[in-house]
Structure 1
Amino acid sequence: MRALHNTLSEGMFAARVTGHSMEPKIPGDSWCLFRPITPGSRDGKLILVQVNTHTDPEDGGRYTVKRYHSNKRVTEDGWQHETIELQPLNEEYKPIQVSPEQANDLRIIGEFVCLID
């Protein structure tokens, strides 16, 4: 097992990731280390997310690990999401499309840090 003592910090947790949509970076049935998501852009980050309006196409679950991507529009009040896409790394799987109206139903649980061997 790889030494994690220099990597660990408060709020981190481990979770087992099933399925193949994030291969090759995250092989199916891997234990992964996650940290709380930091404020700021999530774009391009690998995240563990609870999706209440969708189920993961691979296993039908409400939790999924995907790469986060969003397109934003600047408004008078700041910005708004135009689209949110939860992208698999494995090209054999399709992204999960989340409309701006459904964005409030996403709960970002954590950001992927590394595999736990």
Structure 2
Amino acid sequence: MVDKSHCHTEIIKIERVMIQRYIEQLKHNIISIRDIYIRKAVDYIYDHLEEDMSILDIPILIGFNSQNYFTTQYKKYTGLSPKGFREKKSDKYSIGIKNNIWLIL
């Protein structure tokens, strides 16, 4: 005879594991607000390359309070610093962006 409480415990463990796996999958598919801001910065730098605007002004324009935090997040997202991105773009290279997003310049 099977202990019913043991069966319920096993079912709960299995459901918990399934829920944890589902949440982990969701984490990889959700675009964060930070990602949206960084994407906005990438687009802004791309669109305003020819202007004399300092890259130091861009974080403030798009809503970041810290230049250092912006640069760190930008580099994490694109693999390049904002200045490096601008230089690569001006050299007409293709730049691969992390997270399966690509910009062909």
TMscore range, shorter length: under 0.3
Larger strand fraction of residues: 1
Larger helix fraction of residues: 2
TM-score relative to the length of structure 1: 0.19
Which structure has more relative contact order (CA 8 Å, sep 6+)? It is 1
TM-score relative to the length of structure 2: 0.20
